A and B are shown apart, each in its own frame.
Chain A
Amino acid sequence: MIEIKDVHKSFGDLEVLKGIDLDVNSGEVVSIIGASGSGKSTLLYCINAIEKINSGKIIVDGVDVHNKKTDKNKLRQNLGMVFQQWNSFPHLTVLENAALAPQIVKGFTKAEAEEIARKELIHVGLGDKLNEYPTRMSGGQQQRLAIARALAMEPPYMLFDEVTSALDPELVGEVLDTLRLLRDDGMTMICVTHEISFAKEVSDKVAFFHEGLIEEIGSPEEVLDNPQRERTQQFLSKVL
């Protein structure tokens, strides 16, 4: 379980998160929507400790993420993250991309790591690209590689930061299909997304962020079909 309690985060004078409370239970899919600059992505970066927080607490399976004594590298093994830019490692083949962290972080042998990597790559539909170099692949394929690479660490949680927003429209579908696949596997996921209809389809909970606060949270039907807050209504009327 991920527990987020009254989290504040500033970049210099700019307060980006102004007190976020959010619980994500195991097996749950939570989508975060909202305008650019509302703090959605920052929250993900704070959950896996790439960014520090100013106050509040983030607890993952009982571990206080921002406690100085917490081993952040170990913690991140439980929090797979996929970014807007897919960030494939261009000097490694597809298989090597996905096998690298299991081998050098988890200490599996090369053969074991490649076995896990192969399984995940086949799962996301890249079984025929194992020995390709990622720069020769489409953005959608590279994003699926990024997902498989994160999955190869076998994390209980996955964080998705606008994973389709840098893709050409015709490539969005294949990546969303991959996310649906994970949802069906029972993966716990937090998805920051601009794909409202996707959020509606896969989420257990939808949170609407506005200027660093959760303006409205609830089931997709509540938040997306019958938003109670004016700002949520305004946002949805613009994006739908």
Chain B
Amino acid sequence: MDNYEFHWNVVFDAFPQLLGGAFTTIHVSVLSMLLGIVIAVLLALGKMSTSKVFYHIANVWIEIARNTPALFLIYMAYFGLGAYGIHLSPYFAVFSALVFINGGYLAETFRGGFQSIPKTQYSAAKSLGMNKFKVYRYVILPQMFRRIYHPMTNQFVWSILMSSLGILVGMNELSGETQRLQSTSFRTLEFFIVAAVMYFVITKLVLLAASLISKKVFKGEIS
């Protein structure tokens, strides 16, 4: 290590491929987040539902998602399903695992956000003559959304970073691409340093955008 000489040129030459990998990283994180949100809403409703069936389905999903390593779920999607003859592409295996986990985590975020709105807000809105839709549209959801906004941002950053596990099933996201490039050039340190910087920049940009949006959208305070 004392004599390690950095050679950056090979990294710069491969920069377009790294950018391509970064694009795939963002792609899979955004899509897994969007579908995760939809599933999380359903799971949160299931967990608050009086139907035992919905409750237990939601509960099992949430418990597995929150208490098993992401790596395990990616392996299950890629190798586990493969053993049953269901062959997912690396992209789809990682995507599925991230959706599964995002759904489980966000469900609890949503449920907490929903339950944190006092019931009295609902009565107050009703007493003003609002129907159910208007109560939710104008009173409950705007308050709920600001409570879950930052946890959602965190979950998105988590998805970006966890998609790097794609490296283990040969996905060509940023880490996988980095792995492939360093293995043919042997500039391991350079490639991983640049990849790390790229992850850092991506997540920082996401957090910056999230904070700008929240300043613009959320006025006032929640009690």
Contacts and interface: CB of A to CB of B under 8 A. Distances in A.
B134 A104 contact: yes
Contact of B129 (A77, A83, A90, A135): A77
A116 interface: no
A105 B130 CA distance: 6
Contacts of B126: 50, 73, 76
Contacts of B130: 73, 101, 104-105
Contacts of A92: 220
B127 interface: yes
B124 interface: yes
B215 interface: no
Contacts of A42: none
A238 interface: no
Interface string B120-135: 1101111111110010
Interface stretch (B83-91, B106-114, B138-146, B194-202): B138-146
B128 A90 contact: no
A178 interface: no
Given A76-B127, A83-B123, A153-B128, A105 B134 contact: yes
B142 to A, nearest CB: 5
Interface residues of A, number: 30
Contact of A79 (B125, B127, B131, B219): B127
A87 B129 contact: no
Contacts of A105: 128-130, 134
Nearest to A93: B220
Contacts of A153: 128-129
Interface in B172-223: 218-223
B69 interface: no
Contacts of A16: none
Contacts of A100: 128, 138
Contacts of A83: 120, 123-124, 127
A150 interface: yes
A79 B127 CA distance: 8
A54 B129 CA distance: 23
A91 B142 contact: yes
Given A50-B123, A104-B138, A91 B220 contact: yes
B122 to A, nearest CB: 9
Interface string B162-179: 000000000000000000
Interface string A77-91: 101110101010111
A88 to B, nearest CB: 8
8 contacts: A76-B129, A87-B121, A89-B125, A90-B223, A91-B220, A101-B130, A106-B129, A153-B128
Given A73-B131, A133-B221, A150-B128, 18 more contacts: A73-B129, A76-B128, A77-B128, A83-B127, A85-B118, A89-B124, A89-B143, A90-B143, A91-B143, A91-B218, A91-B220, A91-B222, A104-B138, A105-B128, A133-B219, A136-B221, A150-B127, A153-B129
Interface of B: 118, 120-121, 123-131, 134, 138-139, 142-143, 146, 218-223
